[in-house]
Amino acid sequence: MRSGKTRAALAALFTCLSFSSWALDRAQLEKLASDDNDEKIAAIAALVAEGDPKAADVLRQAAEGEIELDGKKVEIVVNNRVRGRIAEALSVLKLLSSNSSERLEAAKALAGGADEAMLPLILKAKEKETDAEIKALLEMTAAGTQIKSEDKATRLAAIRTLGESANPNAKALLVEAAGDADAEVKSEARRSLGAVEARLVWGEWLGLAFAGVSLGSILLLAALGLAITYGLMGVINMAHGELIMIGAYTTYVVQNFFRGTGFFDWYLLAAVPASFVAAALAGMALERSVIRWLYGRPLETLLATWGISLVLIQAVRTLFGAQNVQVENPAFMSGGIQVLSNVVLPWSRVWIIVFAGLVLFLVYFLLTRTRLGLYIRGVTQNRDMAACVGVPTARIDTWAFGLGSGIAGLAGCALSQLGNVGPDLGQGYIVDSFLVVVFGGVGQLAGTVYAALTLGFANKLLESWSGAVLAKIALLVFIIIFIQRRPQGLFALKGRALEA
Amino acid sequence: MKRRSFVSALAVAASIAAIGTSSTSFAQQKTVKVGILHSLSGTMAISETVLKDTVLMAIDEINAKGGVMGAKIEPVVVDPASNWPLFAEKARQLLTQDKVAVVFGCWTSVSRKSVLPVFEELNGLLFYPVQYEGEEISKNVFYTGAAPNQQAIPAVEYLMSKDGGAAKRWVLLGTDYVYPRTTNKILRAFLKSKGVADADIMEEYTPFGHSDYQTIIAKIKKFSAEGKKTAVVSTINGDSNVPFYKELGNQGLKATDVPVVAFSVGEEELRGVDTKPLVGHLAAWNYFMSIKAPANDAFTKKWGSYAKTKNIAGHKEKPLTNDPMEATYIGMYMWKQAVEKAKSFDVDKVRVAMAGQTFTAPSGITSTMDAKNHHLHNAVFIGEVKADGQFNVVWKTKGPVKAQPWSPFIPGNDKKKDEPALMADKKS
């Protein structure tokens, strides 16, 4: 196998040697394979300066840790410093491409400035460039390099150019330039820095807002099921977290089912309904067997469901082991989308926000536009009256509890994409879920939504300001005070049905 | 009739069994109990479970070769469940009820601090296999992981060097407990001694089991844009590392821009994380699975086949080894050698015999137990994450480094003795 591969590679090498008039400088290749990183970097610069199209192939191989020298594979150690230089060199080589989208990509990769050795090539590429967007990007790159120039005029020009940028790297360069010995350069750098910072601040706020919405969407998913079982039905279900866990483990099982089938990237399509059904069934079984005997006795319900949560945790431990299980993200959930130069929104979080919105809409539709929803509302508002007009209240209770549990299962499916899936998963969310429901106002779906988003934002704002540990404490203190002042929560249900 | 024959058959079987047990108990050599005190559930299970299996593998190996001084080792496994007070309870149980000769256990420093009084009170023996913050030498503990000068300091020095990217600004990120806090105190003092200003250091802590790293990564991004080259030193422990690295990859924070060096992340913790966006982020250890050495080939092969026969989840398909596993393995064999040298299982005698023990470690060097300070002399390696989740060694020390449990960067440590205080000294 390997010899065959080598031979093929050799043949490829010979063909390119014979067909191209260029031949890679052997001395440079030797330097590339040396142990000294300075030598390697010099060799990379030299290879690029030759402008040989074959250089890209060699550099790509080098990034993988192996190059070919005299037909033999030589292993080279590539660390971050060398890898960065290789990536830069490859981008510079791409600037010579005739494809404008490829050039744009390369220019974007170089936006943070480049090594001095690359400057002549970048300037050359800039001169030749016809596309205005790429040209502007290259100007930034050149300025990022020229800002370290010895010549004061060049430095000033570079600082002015960077002042137009919205790139965090430009900010870092300008901060450095603001410490320049020359007073004129210094003040110019300060001015540019102010302009860049003003632009970056938008990105920071946007990132914070997104983090808040993302956390809010997770809290919403976790609490929405509880808003039905606790908020509407009044069942204090301490096993709610474990229903979330069941959803997450169902996702894990479905994922294993899809592994190696070629449809792995689509396993979530099956996992979403499966986790809903699994958790809903578990919830209905719970309601039928335990909770229905305890309606109207909140203390006993609390104790019984807490016991059940322990049983469920231990059951999962026995079934799947005490260790976390790995749920892999499908390809469309990995990576992120760059919306601003300093804001990347991870796809997994974007999709979960969309998913939370979708679930919210479905629940709203179900409760307000369907017969089941009508019955549920009827039973929760006035059980006796509903029974009088012929609503099968016991069965509706089961269905409503199943719905709430199923939504918890959906939350588990979503959470498995972000965090760890283990037997204790639910424990971390039960407190947050109750917080959201109580804060939002018991018996109100809209309250839950507002509460989830408010708590998400508040948590992230505090976290960016005081750190994760203090933020958590501050939030809990805030909620204690809030509930003392306003026990009915953000939105109180007004109506005759609600006693107390 | 049938019934009677069944009864008589049962009697015969029982008598045979009785003869069997009595004859084995005649032939049976002595056994010696060894305690294993690692979390098999909770937030630390991700790291510690595999250490339990490593001890069991070493015990199997030693038993197959005749045991220790002719005695078969009998493992006693308990699960302290990532619950620090429970560690102390379980340790007491191992020492007083099971009467184990030695205990292999603990990962987090908070768990070690929790069991330490128990071991000192009952004069037990603990082998602690994980890198830690130093500031401790107990006569009842042997530390086979790295002290700060065998991991944290060299890693930071590397990142300061030209090859490491010449970092000038530092984010010290950790889980909120004694190990990260102390390590960061040492690192802050070290960085100051190298001329780094306080404004260029950012310290951040998260609770155990934290899973939302959005704001932290946004903060790191912002901090790195405020000046020269930034590097992150991560002392995040346990399963929080999975969401941390996922977020790091998703937010596109590349190692070439802001490298993250971790002290508690190895091959095992990165299992199940997509490492392609993480290529180039670093870890510092005294061992990597990718090290090329005959002792390591043998070690990884042994582990692979052991995992397969014992059906260890995850490892049976993809066996991984890491530094604490190696340290556990070294500890087990050094204890055996010390027992054989002392010709006794007595803790005080074994302790004396431990001094200067050597073992050909899987890392390719000969690890030596220091004559006095209960720590190993170990080589330091710095590795970069590869796309396959393994580490590519980019820097290493020339040879073994002696541990400095009392870091010179903490004031007052220069007066402390580089050996455990014995009871007599303590009383006076």
Considering only CB atoms, which chain A residues are within 8 Å of B79? Answer: 322
- Please give the pLDDT value at position B268: 86
The closest alpha carbon to A414, from A302, A250, A297, belongs to: A250
Count Cβ atoms within 10 A of the Cβ of residue A213 and give its class: 0-12 exposed, 13-18 middle, 19 or more buried: buried
Q: What mean pLDDT comes out for the span B236-247?
A: 89
Give the mean pLDDT of B397-416.
90
The tokens for A64 are: 């993988």
- Residue A27 pLDDT class (50, 70, 90 cuts): confident
Amino acid letter, B242: V
Question: Quick one: which of A493, A452, A42 has its CA closest to A215?
Answer: A452
Q: Which amino acid is at A87?
A: A
Nearest to A115 by CA among A195, A24, A40, A55: A40
The mean pLDDT value for A10-24 works out to 48
Q: Which residues of B are less than 8 Å from A347 in CB distance?
A: 250
Residue B220 DSSP one-character state: H
Task: State yes or no: pLDDT of A218 exceeds 90.
Answer: yes
How far is A5 from B102, CA to CA, in rounded Å?
53
Average pLDDT for A94-116: 81
Range among A157-171, A257-271, B98-112 rated most confident: B98-112
Residues of B in contact with A89 (CB under 8 A): none
Cα–Cα distance measured from residue B309 to residue B72, given in angstroms and rounded to the nearest whole number: 21
Average pLDDT over residues A202-206: 88
Q: Max CA-CA distance within chain A?
A: 95
Task: Choose among A211, A323, A338: nearest Cβ to B45.
Answer: A323
CA–CA dist B167, B156 (Å, integer): 9
Rounded to whole angstroms, how far apart are CA atoms B117 and B126? 12
- Helix (H), strand (E), coil (C) string for chain A: CHHHHHHHHHHHHHHHHHHCCCCCCHHHHHHHCCCCHHHHHHHHHHHHHHCCCHHHHHHHHHHHCEEEECCEEEECCCCHHHHHHHHHHHHHHHCCCCCHHHHHHHHHHCCCCCCHHHHHHHHHHHHHCCCHHHHHHHHHHHHHHHCCCCCHHHHHHHHHHHCCCCCHHHHHHHHHHCCCCCHHHHHHHHHHHHHHHHHHHHHHHHHHHHHHHHHHHHHHHHHHHHHHHHHHCCCCCCCHHHHHHHHHHHHHHHHHHHCCCCCHHHHHHHHHHHHHHHHHHHHHHHHHHCHHHHCCCHHHHHHHHHHHHHHHHHHHHHHHCCCCECCCCCHHHCCEEEEECCEEEEHHHHHHHHHHHHHHHHHHHHHHHCHHHHHHHHHHHCHHHHHHCCCCHHHHHHHHHHHHHHHHHHHHHHHCCCCCECCCCCHHHHHHHHHHHHHHCCCCHHHHHHHHHHHHHHHHHHHHHHCHHHHHHHHHHHHHHHHHHCCCCCCCCCCCCCCC
Give dist(CA A172, CA B403) in Å, integer.
38
Average pLDDT over residues B341-369: 94
> How far apart (Å, rounded) are the C-alpha atoms in residues A222 and A436?
9
Residue in A171, A322, A422 closest to B225 by CB? A171
Q: pLDDT grade, residue A132 (50/70/90)?
A: confident
Decide: helix, strand or coil at residue B408: coil
Cα A245 from chain centre: 21
Scan residues 335-364 of A and list those with Cβ closer than 8 Å to B: 335-336, 338, 342, 344, 346-349
B interface test, pick of A40, A41, A79 with most B CB neighbours within 10 Å: A79
Q: Is pLDDT above 90 for A381?
A: no
Nearest C-alpha of chain B: how many angstroms from A350?
A: 11
Cα torsion for B8, B12, B15, B19, to the nearest 10°? 180
Confidence of residue B256 (pLDDT cuts 50, 70, 90): confident
Whole-number percent of chain B with pLDDT over 70 = 92
Is residue B284 within a helix (H) or strand (E), and if so which, with residue range?
Answer: strand B282-285
Residues of B with Cβ-Cβ distance to A204 under 8 angstroms = 218, 222
Euclidean distance between CA atoms A126 and B115, whole angstroms: 66
**Which distant-in-sequence residues (6+ apart) come within 8 Å of B297 by Cβ?**
none
pLDDT at B12 over 80: no
Cα angle A219, A456, B82; round to 5: 65
A108 touches chain B (CB under 8 A): no
Partner residue facing A336 (CB), from B206, B218, B252: B252
Q: Per-residue pLDDT for A19 more than 60? A: no
H-run or E-run covering B426: helix B423-427
Q: Edge-to-edge strands of the sheet including B126-128?
A: B72-78, B31-37, B102-105, B126-128, B141-143
Residue B81: Cβ within 10 Å count: 18
Task: With beta carbons under 8 A apart, name residues in chain A contacting B167.
Answer: none
pLDDT digits (tens, 9 = 90+) for A288-340: 999 989 988 889 999 999 999 999 999 998 888 877 888 888 888 888 888 88
Taking alpha carbons only, the member of A255, A304, A307, A248 closest to residue A278 is A248
Q: Do A334 and B249 touch (CB under 8 A)?
A: yes
Q: Which helix (H) or strand (E) holds B73?
A: strand B72-78
**Least Cα separation, residue A216 to chain B (angstroms):** 12
Residue B360 parent element (H or E): strand B358-360
Closest chain A C-alpha to B50 CA, distance in angstroms = 10
Stretch B55-84: mean pLDDT, rounded?
94
Question: How close, in Å, is residue B427 to chain A by CA atoms?
Answer: 39
CA pair distance B51, B45, nearest whole angstrom: 10
Interface-testing mutation among A342, A420, A421, A425, with chain B (most B C-beta atoms within 10 A): A420
Q: Which residues of chain B are within 8 Å of residue A336 when distances are taken between CB atoms?
A: 250-252
Does residue B143 sit in helix, strand or coil?
A: strand
* DSSP E strand stretches across B215-256: 230-235
Which pLDDT belongs to residue A101?
Answer: 86
Q: How far apart are CA B395 and CA A46, in angstroms?
A: 26
pLDDT at A9: 52
> What integer best gives the mean pLDDT of chain B?
89
CB A253 within 8 A of CB A413: no
pLDDT at B115 over 90: yes
Report the pLDDT value the prediction gives residue B4, as an integer from 0 to 100: 55
Contacts of B272 in chain A (CB under 8 A): 326, 328
Residue of B54, B42, B38 whose CA lies nearest to B107: B38
Is the pLDDT confidence value at A495 over 70? no
Residue B20 has a pLDDT of 45
How many helices and strands (H and E) does chain B possess? 12, 15
pLDDT at A232 over 50: yes
- Taking CB atoms and an 8 Å limit, are B218 and A317 in contact across chains? no
Minimal Cα–Cα distance from B147 to chain A, Å? 25
Choose the most confident range, by mean pLDDT, from B3-7, B118-122, B273-277.
B118-122
**What is the percentage of chain A residues whose pLDDT exceeds 90?**
32
The enclosing H or E element of B126 equals strand B126-128
pLDDT per position as a tens digit, B257-282: 899 999 989 998 888 777 888 899 99
Identify all chain A residues contacting B162, using CB atoms and an 8 Å cutoff.
37-38, 81
Cα gap B219→B199, rounded to integer Å? 14
Describe the strand order of the beta sheet including B201-206 as a list of residue ranges. B201-206, B169-175, B230-235, B260-262, B282-285, B381-385, B391-396
Q: At what angle do helices A183-226 and A152-162 cross, to 10 degrees?
A: 20
Tell me which residue in B255, B272, B274 faces A334 most closely, judged by beta carbons: B274
Find residues 308-327 of chain A whose CB sits inside 8 Å of chain B.
317, 321-324, 326
Q: Which residues pair with B377 in a beta bridge?
A: B368
Please tell me the distance from the alpha carbon of residue B110 to that of residue B92, in angstroms, as a whole number. Answer: 16
Q: Is the Cβ pair B221, A168 closer than 8 Å? A: yes
| Maximum separation of any 2 CA atoms in chain B, in Å | 94
Q: Which residue has the higher pLDDT, A247 or A148?
A: A247
Question: How many angstroms separate the CA atoms of B116 and B124, rounded?
Answer: 10
Burial of B290 (0-12, 13-18, 19+ CB in 10 A): middle
pLDDT of residue A240: 94
- Say if the Cβ atoms of B204 and A175 lie within 8 Å: no
pLDDT at A254 over 50: yes
On the question of pLDDT at A15 being above 60, the answer is no
Chain-chain contact of B225 with A464 (C-beta, under 8 angstroms): no
CB contact under 8 A, A346 and B243: no
